[in-house]
Structure 1
């Protein structure tokens, strides 16, 4: 099918060749859609979006150089009407909320079936949102939950690296008492029993990378 004759023109953005191949094969089985380009990172995604003007972009989050969220930010700023489906292995209410806040049209997991992917592309092309069922349930479960501050996230990332309170304090140029205060707040907000538990919960919910 020629691009000019294709009702739904799709740009695939993913750094894994096998994932791109699988998505392209799935999409091109449909008579009303086609793949017009493939990007391996956020920088190439922005470049191809500018030249190809796709109807829908399937965008991975974890990529080298410029990641998915950075690319999403740029694309939605330059082209406010862009339809972007975040397509990732990562669930988590915080990560999903961030992507939707930045302008993602929909949020799907890579475990989604063929019909779900194709349906989401058609919905996105029509300007409608699709959120994976399991993600919707998590968003509902944590609706209104406390959000970690920028400083708390900085502390938690260093906890994940195995740093002690003293080393965290030195790294962030704050006192150990301040670190302890941040940790107390983090544990309370996440409902965690200890530091390790806090890191596990934060990674699952998308506050920090796994």
Structure 2
């Protein structure tokens, strides 16, 4: 039986390229493309597929939001994240939200095909380097939702006072949050915190339209 695949990615060249990677496989086919999460969900409402290859970086609703909606409305559809984001927080959030696989763009054709087949067969697929990053996660190295908010404002160059006003908390509380962020990300200053936050996926500079 042919594995029906929907590709959701906002870059047309990427969609065509991924479809071409599957073209030589008789057991799978890219049956549809979508440039946004909304378009992907609309397609799924009328034409269920076996596998969705989903980018996290999308205009409109995010890839993570799209993933949650697919899980809610189409629980039998299996999703593989295919993205440029390789931070452990991105992987953790995606798997927690229901993704069955996680791949980084630029992968060999053999890896993509193997992942699709394994996930379609009921398994999960996460490359070894990403699995190791997940294994190294501890409560002491992760940020809370509030700390992520503070980190985002640090990336915007806001002062402690400005962050406090924006979040409705005292400046002294902001200082405590910043101190915790530096400790958990194992850095010495705010700039380093932003860099590591981006690397690990606690922060993204890209904002969907």
TM-score, normalised relative to structure 1: 0.94
Does the aligned pair in 2 maintain the 1:148–1:189 contact within 8 Å? yes
**For residue 146 of structure 2, what is the aligned residue in structure 1?**
151
- Alignment deviations for residues 62-113 of structure 1 (CA, whole Å, 9 cap, x no partner): 0101111010000001122221000001101111110000000100000211
* Aligned counterpart, 1:116: 111
4+ long deviations beyond 6 Å: none
Which of the pair has the greater relative contact order for Cα pairs under 8 Å at 6+ separation?
Answer: 2
Unaligned runs of 5+ in 2: none
| Equivalent residue, structure 2, for 1:3 | none
For residue 65 of structure 2, the aligned residue among 64, 67, 70 is 70
Of 43, 46, 52, 2:47 maps to 52
1:197 aligns with 2:192: yes
Q: CA deviation at 1:144?
A: 4.9
* Structure 1 unaligned regions, length at least 5: 1-5
- 2:205 is aligned with 1:178: no
> Which of 124, 129, 133 is residue 134 of structure 1 equivalent to?
129
Conserved? CA contact 1:93–1:205, under 8 Å = yes
Between the aligned partners of 2:139 and 2:24, the Cα distance in structure 1 is 41
Whether the aligned pair in 2 keeps the contact of 1:76 and 1:82 (CA below 8 Å) is yes
Is contact 1:36-1:52 (8 Å) kept? no
CA distance in 2 between counterparts of 1:19 and 1:143 reads: 34
Shift of 1:142: 2.3
Q: CA deviation at 1:133?
A: 2.2
Q: Distance in 2 between matches of 1:43 and 1:158?
A: 28
Tell me which residue corresponds to 1:36. 31
Which residue of the other structure, out of 152, 158, 165, is the alignment partner of 2:160?
165
2:20 matched to which residue of 1?
A: 25
Give me the whole-angstrom Cα distance separating, in 2, the residues matched to 1:173 and 1:142.
30
**Counterparts of 2:122 and 2:54, CA distance in 1:** 16
Aligned residue pairs total: 205
